[in-house]
A and B are shown apart, each in its own frame.
Chain A
Amino acid sequence: MQKGVMRPGHVQIRVMDLNEALEHYCNVVGLIETDRDAEGRVYLKAWTEVDRYSVVLREADSPGMDFMGFKVLNNEVLDTLREDLTAYGCEIEDIAAGELNNCGRRVRFKAPTGHFFELYAEKERTGKWGVTNVNPEAWPRDLKGMKAERFDHCLLYGTDVPATVKLFEDVLGFSLAEQVVDPDGKRIAGFITTGMKAHDVAFIECPEPNKFHHASFCLDTWDSVLRAADLLTMTDTPKDIGPTRHGLTHGQTIYFFDPSGNRNEVFCGGDYHYPDHEPVTWKAEDLGKAIFYHDRALNERFLEVLT
């Protein structure tokens, strides 16, 4: 049952060297710098996004994710969801408009997995980058690197995935698209969506809270994923795995690392989900096939290499 949460809106990622990170995210992934703030944070967007930014980089002494934000329909929805989160027992932090440049007030809460999420209704809409909204051309001609089209989702590792999925379903109106269930019936992974996409955020159970597995960016075709892999070699960027296909979501994918060790994904394709769809279930004993459909085995990094 949808409750007015529209889509992923932003992710703030910690990096250990801002200039190295910008070289990576702008010239390799193909995001576009759109702003900086007094704290030194840099704001980036992918070209098809309509808002001013979706990725915020913050220099820090350890990498990882500070928070992920979802955009909701309007301020009335924001107020309602704030009340619902409070009633559900979540501790709320209200963040004033402007703490992130050109972003309205945000309602932040901590999920049982230990991650911080936030909801907001307003952010400056600058339109797609490099194309107009009337008779638009197919794509802008001066994109760089992998030409990422959209910040798509995050995969997060933490404690108590079942409680986190329940919170997102019951309070925020997300729908469980896919899950991994162990032989005892415990859900050890949940891929949830607020629209038709296979996932807007995904969780995998892990003894340590608040771990960041990856931020993912959408590309248009399998050929783009292959060329993304070419670029990783050309730039000597550490690759994790791929190009290959996931079992979960059936997306075509490549994993790699930014210069601070945060994992990135670029992908294309994948399944769709409507609210009346039963969740797709993968068995934990077949997790290798669920994650890496061709290898049918996890690499040793998938479960342990996190920031």
Chain B
Amino acid sequence: MHRIQDAKKRWEFMCGEDSSLLIAMNKAGAKYIPVGCRAGGCGVCKVKILSGECHTKTMSRAKVTELDEARGVVLACRAYPRSDMVIDVAVKNEIKQ
């Protein structure tokens, strides 16, 4: 299990390598990251990776451009952690606690 934290350490949850960040957060009963389609299409769960590694499945190019991806922007529903991670919720919605 890997520890997923936000940049200001206001929240954290644990996530296994076989779970997306979003599903692990959801199972933990938390609402830090907005939940949308859970399939890489709608883009509402966009986060920025500040540290750590993850494997990503296909994400909509309309929501995550190549430049975004190079800068560490991922959709939490398509990101599977490979280490502890620090992330920033990047969408317009304020973090819902």
Contact = CB atoms under 8 A, between A and B. Distances in A.
Contacts of B42: 261, 304-307
Contact of A16 (B34, B35, B60): B60
A64 interface: yes
A307 B39 CA distance: 11
Interface stretch (A199-207, A241-249, A252-260, A290-298): A252-260
B58 A261 contact: no
A307 B41 CA distance: 6
Interface residues of A, number: 20
Contacts of A61: 58, 60-61
Contacts of A140: none
Contacts of A257: 37-39, 41
Contacts of B61: 61-62
A258 B42 CA distance: 11
B63 A62 contact: yes
B40 A16 contact: yes
Contacts of A263: 37
Contact of A259 (B39, B44, B63): B39
B75 to A, nearest CB: 9
Nearest to A301: B36
Contacts of B40: 16, 260-261
A86 B42 CA distance: 34
Given A62-B62, A305-B42, A300 B37 contact: no
B36 A305 contact: yes
Interface of A: 16-17, 61-64, 238, 257-263, 300-301, 304-307
The 5 closest A-B pairs by CB, nearest first: A261-B41, A261-B37, A62-B62, A238-B38, A261-B39
Given A262-B41, A307-B37, 8 more contacts: A62-B61, A238-B38, A260-B40, A263-B37, A301-B35, A301-B36, A305-B36, A307-B42
